[in-house]
Structures are given as structure tokens and as C-alpha cells.
Structure 1
Amino acid sequence: MKPFYVRELSVYPVGARRVRLLAIAVLASLVANFETTIATILPLLMTDLDMSLTEYGLIAALSVLVGGLSAGFGGILSDRWGRVTILVPTLTVTAACNFLFATVDSVGSLLAIRCLMLFIEGAGITITASLVRDFSPRLGRAQAFAFWTWGPVGASFLASALASFTLPLFGYAWQSQAIIMGIISLTLCAIIIWQIAEPSAALRAQVMSAETDVAVTESIDPGKVRKLFGHPHLWAHVFGNTGWQVLYWTFAIFGQTILVTSFAMDAASANGVVALGIVLNAITVILVGRVSDRLQLRKPFTAAGTVLTIAVLAYFIGLIGSQVSVTHVVVVYGLLFLVLGIAYVPWMANFSENAEDVDARLQGSALGIWGMVVRVMIVVLLVVSPLVVEAAGWETWLLVALAGQVVFLVSMVAFKGRWRAERATPPKVTA
């Protein structure tokens, strides 16, 4: 028997209804990322708890590892039990945990509460990507995933913007942000529960190029996860993109801290700079996703965005330790987030389509495995990066992130898909 909040669709939604359900999936992605955001208050939290960057790295590493294990199992179970069955309770409980987070008064309690929150959140966050795939035929897949990135990107923007405006109002008390996040998250969860739905297992098993390509299969066998393991190009996707994610998560976790410690900004100003970069990224992913879908090309955009990211990141690293204006830093930081947006969305569409070609029933499992591997990388990042920074500064760690971009660029050789748009075939004329 399905829980009361599960609405399963036996007919594939089209037109405005599909767009509305896709928007709810994107909203769920935003909530899943927003309710566990901590980067906006990290400098204040470290000072209040008298906690070093290395101590925080160990705490965050353990909590992310717990979340990574949860993400892997969450993706697999979503293919078997359904997306919404798992997604809704994970979103709601994690949102409520923000009020518990506001009571943190020691390093030990921070560790316990963050482990609890990320364990619950990990099972649900990759499910939102599966749900976006379920409501996006290939002709619109990249643009759909562009909106999905508004989840993590939009969550960072929302948290940064709120912190920038409200921290001064509450005397820079970090607890105010935890309470605000809890209230907003629970409100958005109520909207999601009211509107969310998902395709049936039979509909999820289809590979559709357009809305009209609906031919319901009789089989609803969820498939065997081990089928994914024998395809090297899928592993190239997972591990290559994990290298790309080193840079993204460095800025997602430590972006404000890098700006405060390397360029002498205050916490509110640093959050404003991060918010600006996120806006540029959000605009870029939509535009690139639209062009990628129109041309039905993924790899050229991913490659071009990665090359540009390497170039801009190298320049940003060169700014650390030099006398530059705040305006200069803002421009380069914004440009870096812009070029990051060029690479990511076409890659997500490419990975989704490559996994779909192996077995469309295992989309959640493929995304869950990717999410688990990325979180293992985040664990390593959280343990190693503070040690590197304390020994050699942020510029050295950002060189490691640059190497991750190079790994991603090399891994594209194994991806399936075209490098060029297909030429239109001229009509045959009979003699």
C-alpha cells in the first residue's frame, strides 16, 4: 500500500502538466540542498565553537560519508519503491532538523546533528535528479537538468542572499540562519507534498525522445543494478565528473571562507559575491541547456566549458596573495561560475542518456552510484583540504581542483555521443 502522499501516474503527462511536475521536482532539489547549507555561516560557527578548519573538515567528512552511503541506497530503492515514497519524508524530516541544529553549542553536538541531517538528506537528494529525468524526454533533457541545477545552485544563492541581508539584522548570530532555513524549508515541503507526483514503473522504463513517444511496456521489473557495472563509459562519467566536482564543492563549502581569508572580505560581503556568481551560473545553465537540446549535442559543450574553467581558475589562483581590488575579485569569481555552468548541464544530460541506453529502469541506481562516489570525494576533500590549506594556502588546494578539471576533460574520450551535429539528409529524387 502506497503512502498517502504518493500519486502515481499511469499516463505520461504532457504539455503544461509535465512542466508543472518538472517544476515541483526542481523545487524538491532546491529544498534538499537548501536545508543542509552551512557555508554561509561557517566562519561565524567556527569562531563561536572555537573550532579550527581541520576540526570542521573532519566533522563534515564523517557526516558526508554517512550521506554518501545513504545516497547510494536511496537511488537503488527509488527504482524499486518509487521516487516520492522516499523523497517526501527525507525532505520534511531534514527541514525540521534545522531547529535542532540551532541548538548546537559544542563540536560534539555539531557532529551528531550534521550526521543525522546528511544521513536523511542523502537518501533523497539524488532522487530529485531521477525525477527530473522521468519528466524530461531527450529533446529537452539538458534544459530540464539545467533547471535541476537550480536546486544546489539556487539553494546556495538563497542561503547566501538571506545571510547577506539578515545576518546584520540579528547581530551576526549564526543560529538565526538555521531557524530561517527551517521555516522556509518546511513551507516549501508543504507545497511539494501538495503537488508532487511520479510516473509509474512502466512509464519510467521507457526511453523517450519527445513527449509523444509513449508506448507503455508491460514489464515493470526494476532491473538488476549489476548490469551497470560492466560498462566502462559509465564509470568514466562517474569518476571523471567526480574530478570536476572537486572545484564545485570547494567553492560550495569554502567559497565564503576563501573570500574572507584570501581577500579580506567580511562575511556579509563574501555572501553577496557568492550570490552574484550563483546568479550568473543559473542563467548560463539554462541558455547552454537550451542550445544543447536544440543541437542534440552534449560533449562539445562539456569540453569547451571545462577548458574555459581551467583557464579562469588558473587566473583566479594567481590573484591570491596579490594586491587586487574587490571589484577585480568579484568579476573573476563571477566569470568562473559562468564557465562552470557551460560544462555541467550537457554532461548531466549525456550521463543520463548513456545510462538510459544501458537500461532505462536503472536511472535512479546510476544517479545514486554517482552521488555516492561524489560524496566519498567530498569526504576526502573535507579531510585533506584543511591540511593542505594550513600547510600551503588556498592557492595550493585550488591547484588540486584544477587537476580535477583536467581529469574530467580526459575522461570525455570514453563518453558515448556525437561531437558534431548531424547534417540533414537531402531528399532522394527518383529519376
Structure 2
Amino acid sequence: MRELDEYPTTGQRMRILSMAVLAVLIASYEGQIAPVVPLLLKDLHITLSTYGAVSAAALVAGAIASAVGGRLTDTVGRVRLIVPLLMLTAVCCFLMTTVHSAGQLLTVRAVLSVVDGMAMAGTAPLVRDFSPRMGRAQAFGFWTWGPVGASFLAATVASLTLPLFDDSWRSQFVIMGAVSLVLSVVIAFNIADLSPELRARILRTEQEAISRADHATPPRVRDLFAQRTIWAHVVAIACWLVLYITLTLYGQTMLADSFHLDAATASQVMSAFWVLNILTLIVAGRVSDRLQLRKPLGTAGTLAAALLTAYLASLIGREDVSHLHIAVTGALLGGAMGCAYGPWMANYSENAEDIDPRLQGTAWGVFTFLTKGVAVVVLVLVPHVVESHGWHGWLFIAVGCMALFLPASLLFRGPWRRPKPTPESSSQSRTTTAETSTAAVHPGPTD
């Protein structure tokens, strides 16, 4: 695996960031099961509660692996972990086709969750390494294309191919494994890592050749969690993720149960959610980078998402709701969540970086641990809440959790509004504007 001793030029940095985003896409795509859950439950003769318990147990193992993987990326390196683990997750997809019981499902999903959790923990710090602060929100917007794009890809592929394979859920894992294996090889030949010395720097713009960091003492994890800012981020995003993970794990199932849609139609509706989510991730990231503001966009997007979720919950049970109405509501919800997510990720990365830039992998390992931990809670609680209060009851719980993000954000570091320019800063802004166009992340041929 290549290790760079000099910070890469724009073209090389764009290529490496493209590979990092592609790695997130693969790791996320291989874990997608939501589009086939209704078919899986029927074929394996298991209840939603049994499925939730099996998936939760698998995710516990994955959550622990994520925390371990995050720490390893700071000591071993990002790429040394990511590439081999991506290959293994592709193999796990093929193993899913051999599942015929709840016990076999638990075994395969647990192995996949462990491997996938460790791989994912290295991708966000890799994006941080190659994204100066002037373009970081946009960079993390592209990073989020991985999990969001994976949900969209899985939903779209399922809606197009399930009818071709007689609604066989195993067909989806064959497709996942084949696609992921090929892309893993592409990543292996095009990705690179920064040397530990370069990872210890804080880059604000691409042109800023900042001095070498002088760290006489080794990085200490306790320094990270001695700050209330980090704990505020941890609590806030754990609450925010309840809705996101609900839609990721149960989106199609919720739509099928609540609005009497078949599996393919439910996936089409979910595709509308993910499409607008993907678009607003980049738009909001660019705006956040241009203004150098994180918190206002994160809180505004979260508030809008909470209101739209409450409206979606109110539609459940109504007979006069069309598929288009559901799709438009879902798309707007996806757009609102996209506005919040990218700026929050940039804010979290910068707040952790200000404490010690050498602990980015550890910080993002905790984030991945939280993601899987919240997924465990969702998997365990959803079947019970839905059974007693319906899907609208669970959605209102998700709204309450998302609302808790707002007071927690008051403890995040960073400005709420742009400072008034001074004559000195005005002269610097012209240079910064030019640098931002280079520093902004463009992992693809278009922006």
C-alpha cells in the first residue's frame, strides 16, 4: 500500500478521495438488506421480532469492531485496513446466498458486521486526511454518498431486478458481491495513505504549507473525551441517527406495511428519499464551506427533518394518500436530512482535530460504534413499538430523538454567523476564495 510523505496535488488528491468515497459505497452497499427484508422473512419463516434480534446481535459485534478499527487506523494506517477488509465483505455477500435459517443468518451477518465495521471506521478519517477545512463539509458530503448512495443503489437495483429473478432475495446478494469485488480491485490500485507525520497536521487550505506538527507526547485518547464538546457531538448524533437508521433498516418494510405497497414499489419510493438526500448533501456542503459555518445548517436541516417526519407519521392510516404524495414527502425529508449531515460531520471532524489531529481515526471509530449501537437499539425496539403503537408511534419517537439534537448543538464549537470582515481579513479573503476552489473536494468529473 502506498504511503505519501508529501501532501498530494489537486489531481492526485481528487483521485484518492474518489477511492475513499467508493470504499464507503462498497462497505455500505454490502450491508444493505432493507429492500429484501419482506421477502427474507417469508422465505426463512421468521418474524420481524426474530429478525430484529438476529440483526441486533450481529451489530453488537460490529459496533465493538468499529471502535477497535478506528483506533487501529490511527496506529496501523487507513489503507492497510480498508483494502483487505473490502475484499472480505464481498465474500460475505456470497455467503449470504447460503443462508436457510435464523441461526445461519446470525452467523453470516455477524461476520459481515465485524468486517464492515472495521472497514468503515477507516474511511472517514481518510477523507479528513485529504480534505483541507475550506472544503471539508463538501468532502464529507461526498463521503456520505457512500452510505446514502448504497441505500439508493440497493433500492434501485432491487426495484429493477427482483422481478427478473422471481423476487428471489438471494439474487441481490449475488449482485452485491460481484459489483463489490470488482470495485475493490479498482480501489486497491488507486488509493494511498498519508504518512503519520502528515496526518498530524491541520490543513485549512490546500495552499497552506503549514509547519510540521511538534508532538513531543504520544496521542492520548482521554484527551479527546475530556472535552464536553465531543460528548455533545456523541449524544446529538446518536439521537439524530434514530430516524436515519430506521429508514435505512426498515424504510421499505414501513412503507409496505403502512401504505400497502409491494417490495418493488416501496423501493421506488425510498429511491426518491435517497436521490434528494444525495443532492442536498453536496449543495449544503458547498454552502457550509463557502460561509465556513457548520452549526446553522446542521440545526436548520434537523428542525426541518423533524417537522417532515411528524407529517409523514400523520399520513399513516389515511386512505387518500397517493404514492406520489408519499414519494414527495419522503424526498423532502431526505433533502432536509442531507442539509444537516454534511455540515455536522465537518464540525465534528474539526472539533476533534482541534484537540489532537492524530486522533481522527479514534473519533470516527466512536462515530461508527455509535451508528451500529443505535442500529441495535432500533432493531430491538422497533418490532415491539410497531406491534403496540404502529409505525406512526415509532416515527413520533424518532421525532423526539431528533429534537434532542438541537439543544446539544449549543455545545458544539464553531460560529453561528459569519464575522464582519475587517480590512485585513478582506485582503486575505481573495486568496482564500481562490484556494477554496482548489481545496473543495471533487471526487467525480463534475461538481
What code does the residue aligned with 1:60 have?
A: S
TM-score if structure 2 supplies the norm length?
A: 0.93
What code does the residue aligned with 1:321 have?
A: G
Contact 1:80–1:222 (CA<8 Å) still a contact in 2?
A: no
Q: CA RMSD in A?
A: 1.2
1:377 is the counterpart of 2:374: yes
Q: In 1, distance between residues paired with 2:218 and 2:274?
A: 37
Contact 1:8–1:198 (CA<8 Å) still a contact in 2?
A: yes
1:165 is the counterpart of 2:160: yes
1:18 is the counterpart of 2:18: no
Structure 1 partner of 2:444: none
Structure 2 partner of 1:254: 250
Query: What SS does the aligned partner of 1:8 have?
Result: strand
Q: In 1, distance between residues paired with 2:368 and 2:218?
A: 19
What code does the residue aligned with 1:104 have?
A: V
Closer, same or farther in 2 for the Cα pair 1:368/1:221, shift >3 Å? Answer: farther
1:124 is the counterpart of 2:119: yes
Question: Within 5 Å, which residues of 2 pair with 1:351-370?
Answer: 351-370=348-367
Of 303, 306, 310, the residue aligned with 1:310 is 306
Structure 2 partner of 1:391: 388
Query: What SS does the aligned partner of 2:100 have?
Result: coil
1:425 is the counterpart of 2:426: no
What code does the residue aligned with 1:269 have?
A: T
Provide, for residues 312-360 of structure 1, a one-character-per-residue CA deviation record: whole Å limited to 9, x for no partner: 1111010001121111111111111111111111000000000000000
Contact 1:163–1:271 (CA<8 Å) still a contact in 2?
A: yes
Contact 2:273–2:335 (CA<8 Å) still a contact in 1?
A: yes
What code does the residue aligned with 2:186 have?
A: I
Provide, for residues 375-417 of structure 1, a one-character-per-residue CA deviation record: whole Å limited to 9, x for no partner: 2221111111111111111111111111111111110011000
Shift of 1:274: 1.0
What code does the residue aligned with 1:13 have?
A: P
Shift of 1:14: 2.1
After superposing the two structures, state which structure 1 stretch, 346-355 or 211-220, moved more.
211-220
Q: In 1, distance between residues paired with 2:128 and 2:413?
A: 18
Counting aligned pairs with the same residue, the percent is 48
Q: In 1, distance between residues paired with 2:196 and 2:208?
A: 16
Question: Within 5 Å, which residues of 2 pair with 1:154-233?
Answer: 154-214=149-209, 215-217=211-213, 219=215, 223-233=219-229
Q: In 1, distance between residues paired with 2:17 and 2:179?
A: 21
Shift of 1:218: 6.1
Query: What SS does the aligned partner of 1:198 have?
Result: strand
Q: In 2, distance between residues paired with 1:27 and 1:216?
A: 30
Structure 2 partner of 1:286: 282
Contact 1:145–1:345 (CA<8 Å) still a contact in 2?
A: yes
What code does the residue aligned with 1:196 have?
A: I
Q: In 2, distance between residues paired with 1:141 and 1:359?
A: 17
Closer, same or farther in 2 for the Cα pair 1:136/1:427, shift >3 Å? Answer: closer
Contact 2:48–2:383 (CA<8 Å) still a contact in 1?
A: yes
Contact 1:12–1:203 (CA<8 Å) still a contact in 2?
A: yes
Q: In 2, distance between residues paired with 1:65 and 1:271?
A: 27
Structure 2 partner of 1:62: 57
Provide, for residues 138-157 of structure 1, a one-character-per-residue CA deviation record: whole Å limited to 9, x for no partner: 00000000000000001111
Q: In 2, distance between residues paired with 1:234 and 1:283?
A: 28
1:244 is the counterpart of 2:240: yes
Structure 2 spans left out of the alignment, 5+ residues: 426-447
Q: In 1, distance between residues paired with 2:288 and 2:62?
A: 32
Q: In 2, distance between residues paired with 1:54 and 1:222?
A: 46
Shift of 1:222: 5.5
TM-score if structure 1 supplies the norm length?
A: 0.96
Q: In 2, distance between residues paired with 1:77 and 1:113?
A: 24
1:401 is the counterpart of 2:401: no
Structure 1 spans left out of the alignment, 5+ residues: 1-5
1:85 is the counterpart of 2:83: no
Contact 1:201–1:220 (CA<8 Å) still a contact in 2?
A: no
Shift of 1:220: 9.1
What code does the residue aligned with 1:245 have?
A: L
Contact 2:221–2:362 (CA<8 Å) still a contact in 1?
A: yes
Structure 1 partner of 2:438: none
Provide, for residues 266-325 of structure 1, a one-character-per-residue CA deviation record: whole Å limited to 9, x for no partner: 101111111121111100010010010000000000111011111111110100011211
Q: Give the total of aligned pairs.
A: 423
Provide, for residues 149-199 of structure 1, a one-character-per-residue CA deviation record: whole Å limited to 9, x for no partner: 000001111111111111000000011001010000001100010111011
Query: What SS does the aligned partner of 1:168 have?
Result: helix
